[in-house]
Each structure stands twice: as structure tokens, then as C-alpha cells.
Structure 1
């Protein structure tokens, strides 16, 4: 008895499947982006970009400006199990920090722009300021009683004419 044989075909790679069905590929990458965002606890990105480049989709998380934004990048780096880096080639008083990772076969970049001082602090390139010698909390200014305020001494301004031109 003759048996029918079928030619075996190799399993298609993720990239070739992505090219065959771009909508499904986009949805898969958008789902990965959503799972990363769902794990963030520090700060949400200002923008999430699912992009296609050289035939493959990727994810960019834009955290914006400042120290808090930089903390968001560090959290993404922790989630993706990679190190955040600082762009040392950027000229000016600012510094980019970013992390680059491959998550489930998808290229991921998270970035934030900080002052060089904040970037140094965040990336722990300079030691944090030493705590004060004594353990007393810093002095807090007491509120000024309303009667002693300069604003309480200013006379009220009353219009000479009724507002709206009426008499």
C-alpha cells in the first residue's frame, strides 16, 4: 500500500509572518507595549509609538523631560532586564538617558531628556548629597496670621462707576 507523502515546510519566522499579515503583527506589538505599560508604577510615558522600520515593528516609549521622566526609563529598564544608558555624545546642558531591549522579539526603546545634573544623579555617577549631621528635620516657616499680613493692610479698591456702565 502506497502512503501519500507531503513535503515538509519549515516554520515561518516571526519576521516573515509579520510581513505576511501586517495587521496581526501590529496588534501583537501593540499588545506587548500595553503589557509593559501595565507594569509601570512610577510614571506613564508621554507617548507610546508602535513603528515599522526595515520590515519589522518596534516600540518607542517617550517619557519627556525631567527627573521623573528619567525614573520612568529606569523602570522600563528594570522590567526589560537591561541597563539604562546615558548618551554621552549629546552636546548642551541636557543628557538623554535611554534603555534598549528586545522584548518577545520586538525592539524596544525608552527615552527621557534630563539636565546633566539630574542625569548624573539618576545614573548615580555622582554621590547623592550627604544627609545633615543632626537628625532634626528642617525648619518650616510658620504661616503669617491674616491680620499681620501685608495684604490685610491694603485698602480695598472700589470702582468709581458701576461695572458694566450702569448707575
Structure 2
């Protein structure tokens, strides 16, 4: 009877070891899925960001504002004033786009996307921009920005932006 109990304990120990190894394997697969999902979210947000940048470069205000959540938007302008609605942002962006003859360059560097959860990500960046105004003046700007992206109905939309910049005129 003692050998039967000892044999059962050995079998039980083997089962415990097998279950432990399986749990590690499942845990690794779950971590990889989480990493894959994070990478997918980063790629989707980056694609939306690139669309926003292209709309800004081409001065396509309709396309530009498609990337914003019209119902939940709020933000902070570089001058320290807040926008509590998309209308507030539009009142600055639309006249600005109308003053620009063309975007000479708009380059982003040091872009980092941080995934908060399945539906929220934060993108930070630094940028350099040169634009030609309709008046003939050339404006060069550098700065940075923070964007909060939120997934709505499988589309990534901006719910908040904040920016900083320094501008100087050129010829």
C-alpha cells in the first residue's frame, strides 16, 4: 500500500510539472499575442498619423478634420489656450490653411506611440515645417506635439492634441 501511495505521488508530481510547463507555454503565447496586438495598434495609429500629415501637407482641411473625434475633442494650443471643441480648433486651422500657398516641407522626427489600452494611444513627436504664405513670406517652424488617439468604430481619431512651436520668418 505504501508503494502504491509513493507511485501515485510520483505520478502526481509529473502531472504538476507537465501542467506547470504548459502554463508557461500558454503564458508566453499570451504575451506574444499582447505584443502582436500592441504592434498592430501602433501600426494603425501610425497610419492614421501619416494620413493626418498628408492632409496637412496638401492643405486639405476636409481630410484633415476627418482624423478628429468631433464629439469628444479638446486640446491645448502652443500659446497656452485650450480648445474645448472642434469648432475652436477649426477657427484657427481653417484660416491658417487659407493663408498658405504651399507646404515646402513638413518633417517629423522622434515619433513615439505609446499604447495605453486596446482603444487608446498617445503619440508624441518633434517636427520641422517650412511654408510659403500667399503673401510670399516663408515661415519656418519647429516644435513638438502630443496627440491622444482613440479608436471609434475601427477608426483611430484624435480626441486631444497639444503643441509647442517656435516660428520665424524667412525669405
User: Which TM-score band applies after superposition, normalised by the shorter structure?
Assistant: under 0.3
Q: TM-score, normalised by structure 1?
A: 0.25
* Larger strand percent: 2
Determine which structure has more spread, i.e. the larger CA radius of gyration.
Answer: 1
TM-score norm. by structure 2 comes to 0.25
Return the structure number with greater helix share: 2
